[in-house]
Structure 1
Amino acid sequence: MSKLKDKTILITGANGGFGRELTKQLLEKGANVILTDLKAPLAESDFYLYRKWDMNFKNGSNSKNAGKILGTFSGDLQTQKGCKEVYQNTLKISSRGVDVLINNAGLAFKGGLLDVPDKNWNLILDVNLYAPIHLSRLFVPAMLERKQGQIVNLSSVAGQVAPGELIYYSISKFGIRAMGEAMDADLRKRGIAVTNIYPFFADTGILKSQQFGKQQEVPLSIVDSPVAVVKAIVRGMEKRKLHVFPGIKSKAISFFNRMTPNIVHKVTSLSDRF
């Protein structure tokens, strides 16, 4: 039996590629989920369990012991006020709060230090970094009272190595990595685990993010499957790991960055020229 069965889990950014796949796989584990995004996600379990958004999906889901979607609502994580509204709407659905908060919502704009307009790089920090901080501060007190809980943060390999053309995205992902490590050092001994995730490029909507400065596409031949990434995330959640590196590319980048950081930095700098 999964350790996630009957857990109440809030997923932000639930309409995205990772969000939908997280919903599917967590429902299959018997978890009960609450979903939020800028547009209220669909509330029908079958939409996720049978991946009705994915025309290539071959039905193999078993919904017999699946969890439930407790509720969905629209939420804007760009401001502290919006984060508080997400918290309040969650409590309307689950008055005790949640067992697991998944800080999945995120966005990116490609460009160097001087390329990305102020409103865009500020938006990256507001959604990718400040929103997880605000939400964690809101949901953690109830977890502390129960002496159990988990925070899951979607960082990135860009939170391990910083490409020059993803400077603001990397700042946000390095920040959430630091936040997760510090929170775990403080909270795990009090029953609350923090799990940081470091995916490589995956086949999600973020690959189509707006670009500023030099235009450059990520080759689809090197991107990871959201299905495989989320499987690794769910395994990491069940084991309450601090760091999860989903896929061989994520693991390799982390390894070589620890062993030969200067070489990895040079390779990253060269890749920005093409």
Structure 2
Amino acid sequence: MTELNNAVVLLTGATGGFGHELTQLLLEAGSRVIRTDIDGALLEQQAEKLNPDRHPGELLPSFVANLGTADGCEDLYQNVQALNHPVDILINNAGIALYGRMDETPTERWELMMQLNLLAPMRLSNRFVADMITRRQGHIVNISSVAGWIAPTGLTGYAASKFGLRGYSDGVRSEVKDFNIKVTTVYPFFSRTPILNSDSFGSLAQGKSELPHWMTTDPHKIMQATLQGIQQNKPEVFPDLPARVLTRIKRYCPGLLQWTTNQIKRQYQKPS
């Protein structure tokens, strides 16, 4: 099992819905957490409310980092190295989403999404895994999405980034297993986090509406299931019922998938 108590955890996207929940849960589990996000003011604001003195864990220094660039990823790696606290668990949680037909989505926006959702986890994992190999221990956690298995209309670019993260995770897992390094990939369904309010573009945006509450999940419960999966060294975590159902349909009854995704799509569309 992966021990969370006293483990040094580097968490990206720490101020987002999943990131904030993860920080609190990790502190409760006794972890020593290095938080990073592009929003420095929000990092400080949330740190004041976390009050780590009430938990067995510890907030280590946080870093503002633009993970949408190679330089930003390298700067984060160097800053963390300077702390002289070897990272036991790297959680690649930072990411964004966009909604719209691919040809109607600004090129610079979907390219940034690919940088954040796929290339940043690859860059950070490639850097930190070398240290883990030397120490013969470590755990890499990639927060993917059910969109890493299916590609809903309007989320093509997002799905491409998450499909890529799934493939990368599978490959790295086989490459580092002999060094006692674990790789866990997490596939949540739509959860009640700010990513649901991501920017929309083009003709699909005109008919888009909010998902009903019953179709979204509680991020606290999703991250509880995620940490449990990390502790149990699970290679894949499907932390909610919709994710488990949809991925099983994809695997075992793909003919039903189009019908199922059409039902989900209708929840996005405003009545005419």
Relative to the length of structure 1, the TM-score reads 0.90
Residue 48 of structure 1 corresponds to 50
Q: What is the CA distance between 1:45 and its match in structure 2?
A: 5.7
- Paired residue for 1:226? 219
State the Cα deviation string for residues 34-77 of structure 1 (Å, max 9, x = none).
Answer: 00000231287662369xxxxxxxxxxx935x210011110000
| Native 8 Å contact 1:9 1:102 kept in 2 | yes
Structure 2 CA distance for partners of 1:28 and 1:49, relative to 1, 3 Å: farther
Verify the 8 A CA contact 1:43 1:72 in the aligned structure 2.
no
Unaligned ranges ≥5, structure 2? none
1:123 is matched with which residue: 108, 112, 133? 112
For the residue of structure 1 that corresponds to 2:60, the secondary structure is strand
Q: CA deviation at 1:2?
A: 8.0
Q: Which amino acid aligns with 2:245?
A: A
Counterpart for residue 181 of structure 2: 192
Counterpart position of 1:262: 255
Percentage of identical aligned residues? 38
1:92 offset after TM fit, Å?
A: 2.2
The AA in structure 2 aligned to 1:114 is: D
Distance 1:25 1:4 in 2: 10
Residue 16 of structure 1 pairs with residue 22 of structure 2:
no
AA at the equivalent of 1:256: I
* Partner of residue 66, structure 2: 76
> Moved runs in structure 1, 4+ residues, more than 4 A?
43-46
Structure 1's unaligned 5+ residue stretches are 51-61
Structure 2 distance, partners of 1:182, 1:96, is 27
Instruction: Provide the rounded CA distance (Å) in 2 between the counterparts of 1:228 and 1:262.
Output: 31
**Deviation digits for residues 206-258 of structure 1, max 9, x if unmatched?**
01100012231222221100100000110011011110001111111111211
Question: Conserved in 1, the CA contact under 8 Å of 2:10 and 2:87?
Answer: yes
Q: Structure 1, residues 84-129: CA drift from partner, whole Å, max 9, x if none? A: 0011111122x24300100000000101221211011101100000
| 1:158-198 per-position Cα deviation (integer Å, ceiling 9, x unaligned) | 00111121000000000001111111011122111000000
Preserved CA contact (<8 Å) 1:124 1:169: yes
Q: Which residue of 1 aligns with 2:36?
A: 36
Contact 2:77 2:127 in 1 (8 A): yes
For residues 231 and 61 of structure 2, the distance between their equivalents in structure 1, rounded to whole angstroms, comes to 23
1:270 Cα deviation from its structure 2 partner: 5.8
Give 3-state SS (helix, strand or coil) of 1:5's partner.
Answer: coil
Which structure features the higher share of helix residues?
2
TM-score w.r.t. the length of structure 2 is: 0.91
Residue pair 2:15, 2:46 contacting (<8 A) in 1 also? no
Q: Residue 155 of structure 1 aligns to which amino acid in structure 2?
A: S
Q: 2:152: which partner in 1? A: 163
